[in-house]
Structure formats: C-alpha cells, structure tokens
C-alpha cells in the first residue's frame, strides 16, 4: 500500500499546487483592446470610453492598441490568431465583420468562426445630403432625377468599401438607379468637395454634417436608420421616404478570439453592458447619432452573421474590389 499511498499523495499535491491558477479571478493582468483603425476615429473613441469604464468595473487596466491597415483587416487578423484567454479583445464594426472579408480575398479571418462575441455596443445610422444648388429636396426627387439621366448624378465616398460607398450602392440597387462613384481618401475631403459643388451627394455620419446643414451649405434628404434621428427629428427615414424596409446602419461590437471560455465571455459581457448603461457613454453614443445596443453574446453572434450576409453579398454581387 505504501507505493500506492505515495502516488496518491503526489497526485493530491499536484492538484493543490495547480488549483490556484484555475481559481484566480479574471482578469489578473492588463487587458488589451485592439482597435483595427488609426487613433481618433469613431471606433477608437468608443473603445477608449469602454476601456476606462470596463477597467474600473473589473479592477484591471484595459489598454488600447491601434493596429490600422487594410480597412481593419490587419488588426482583426491579429486578434483572430491571438490566445483566447480574455486578455486580447477587439472593438470593430460592420466594415470589419461584414464588408472586409468579402472585399479582401486574403482578409485572413472568418467573422463567424474566428471570433467569440462579447456584445454589441451601438448602432449608428447615416444621412443622405445633397448640394443645395440641386433641385432635389426629397428622396423621390433624387430617384426621379437619377432615372431620367442614369449615371449623371455623382456621389462621394470615403473610399472603396467604406460605409459611405456601400450604403450608397445599397440605396442605388434598392431604388433601381445608377449613380457615378467618386471615391476620396477619407471623409474630410468628401465634405469639402460636396460643399464646393464638385460632387452631388453623399451618405455619411450624422455629426459630420451638422454644421454644414445648419449653415445651409448642404441639404439633408433622409436618414438611413429604421427610425428618425434625434439629431434631425424632422427628417424622414429612407423607408418613410419611399423605400420600404431600407436600412443602412453601422453596428459596433466587441469580440475576442474564438475559443474564449464561457465564464470569461459572460464576465466581459456584464462589464460591457454596465459600461453602456453609464450616462457619459450612453450620452456620447446618442450625441454621435447612435443608439446603445446592450445585450447578450448570442445576440451579437446573430448580428455578425447577418451583417456578413448583408454586406458581403452586396460586395460580391456588385463585384466591388479594392483598387
């Protein structure tokens, strides 16, 4: 019995020595949130606000790491390949989860298989604006003009595959019209040329055009969400204006690499939802023309699948490629 007893004692000692690592509360060291875009953008601002509040809630530092490149695919690919221990997260949006995998044949990740959902953050609608010199005041006016002279109306975008590009192409496909795309490098140049009258129209984020609209430099036509925006309460949605069911919104969410434990995932989901309920973050999302989307991990998983199907199908159907 002595050898058997000795073996049992050694096994028990090993279990006891190993147990602390399994019972240590998460997180025990800083957590990195990867932002797959440059600092200063909407993705980055949201991530920094959430990092501060989630870090305070979980008693650990949450550090932002910007990893821009190839429409977010560089950072997303790195997160997909990271260890799924809860110490590497990412804040991304519909462009990363829905557009880029179809736009880039070598994106290097599958949004449905390579990420573990943490939770949705918010939904941000956009606005269609035109140069005020155009005789266009309603969506019906625009559609009629485009049908009279296919391809004559030009629209600006922040680049191939951007939200402004795909939202306008979705509009054109839904309305059965043809518009001419004028891509720019970034959103700032689109507004400059639209205000100058060098392009006719633009679908973009609501806050970016507030000043120009109030100054009479741009004319608002409709918003792309399912409901009207508090920033432009008198402006109809596309659906109200003649395209029933049309919606082009940008969803933001937080993910981890696939394989994350359910316990850590639920803990992070709870901290994320608590952060979204706090007034500064809730108010910031509203001010940016969005709606907070607290919810379950399962809801985000369904959302990623839906966004990939919607936008990925559009990219493939129209044959859109990065130049």
For residue 107, the domain's CATH number is 3.40.190.150
Residue 230 lies in a domain: no
Number of domains the chain is built from: 2
Decide the pairing of beta strands 31-35 and 219-223: unpaired
Residue 239 lies in a domain: no
DSSP 27: P
Q: Which domain holds residue 55?
A: 29-123+250-318
Residue 15 lies in a domain: no
Do residues 135 and 212 both lie within one domain?
Answer: yes
CA distance 140 to 84: 50
Q: CA geometry: angle at 308 spanning 303 and 311, to 5°? A: 115
Do residues 215 and 256 both lie within one domain?
Answer: no
Residue 6 lies in a domain: no
| Tens digit of pLDDT at every position of the chain (323 positions) | 444 444 444 444 444 444 333 457 899 999 999 999 988 887 888 899 999 999 999 999 999 999 999 889 999 999 999 999 999 999 999 999 999 999 998 899 999 999 999 999 999 999 999 999 999 999 999 999 999 999 999 999 988 999 999 999 999 999 999 999 999 987 888 999 999 999 999 999 999 999 999 999 999 999 999 999 999 999 999 999 999 999 999 999 999 999 999 999 999 999 999 999 999 999 999 988 899 999 999 999 999 999 999 999 999 999 998 86
For residue 187, the domain's CATH number is 3.40.190.10
Q: Where are the beta strands (DSSP E) in the chain?
A: 31-35, 62-66, 88-93, 115-124, 126-130, 154-157, 180-183, 201-205, 219-223, 250-257, 290-292
User: Within its chain, how far is the Cα of 97 from the centroid?
Assistant: 8
Do residues 180 and 255 both lie within one domain?
Answer: no
Do residues 51 and 199 both lie within one domain?
Answer: no
Helix, strand, coil share (%) of the chain residues, nearest 5 = 45, 20, 35
Residue 271 lies in a domain: yes
HSE on the CB side for 85, CA within 13 Å?
A: 14
Do residues 193 and 148 both lie within one domain?
Answer: yes
Residue 231 lies in a domain: no
């Amino acid at each position: 019995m002595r050898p058997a007893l000795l073996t049992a004692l050694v096994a028990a000692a090993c279990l006891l020595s190993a147990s602390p690592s399994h019972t240590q509360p998460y997180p025990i060291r800083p957590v990195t949130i990867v932002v797959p875009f440059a600092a200063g953008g909407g993705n980055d601002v949201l991530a920094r606000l959430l990092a501060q509040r989630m870090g305070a809630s979980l008693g650990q530092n949450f550090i932002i790491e910007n990893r821009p490149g190839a429409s977010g695919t560089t950072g997303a690919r790195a997160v997909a390949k990271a260890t799924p221990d809860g110490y590497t997260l990412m804040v991304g949006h519909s462009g990363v989860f829905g557009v880029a995998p179809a736009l880039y044949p070598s994106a290097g990740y599958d949004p449905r298989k390579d990420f573990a959902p943490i939770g949705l953050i918010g939904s941000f609608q956009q606005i269609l604006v035109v140069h005020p010199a155009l005789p266009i005041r309603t969506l019906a006016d625009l559609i009629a003009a485009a049908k009279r002279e296919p391809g004559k109306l030009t629209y600006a975008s922040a680049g191939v595959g951007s939200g402004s590009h795909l939202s306008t192409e979705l509009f054109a496909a839904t309305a059965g019209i043809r518009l001419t795309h004028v891509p720019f490098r970034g959103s700032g140049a689109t507004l400059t040329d639209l205000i100058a009258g060098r392009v006719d129209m633009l679908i973009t984020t609501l806050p970016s055009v507030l000043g120009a609209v109030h100054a009479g430099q741009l004319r608002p036509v409709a918003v792309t969400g399912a409901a009207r925006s508090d920033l432009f309460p008198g402006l109809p949605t596309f659906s109200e204006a003649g395209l029933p069911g049309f919606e082009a919104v940008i969803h933001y969410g937080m993910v981890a690499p696939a394989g994350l434990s359910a316990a850590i995932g639920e803990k992070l989901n709870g901290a994320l939802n608590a952060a979204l309920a706090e007034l500064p973050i809730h108010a910031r999302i509203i001010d940016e023309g969005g709606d907070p989307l607290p919810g379950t991990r399962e809801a985000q998983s369904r959302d990623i699948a839906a966004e990939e199907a919607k936008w990925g199908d559009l990219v493939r159907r129209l044959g859109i490629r990065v130049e």
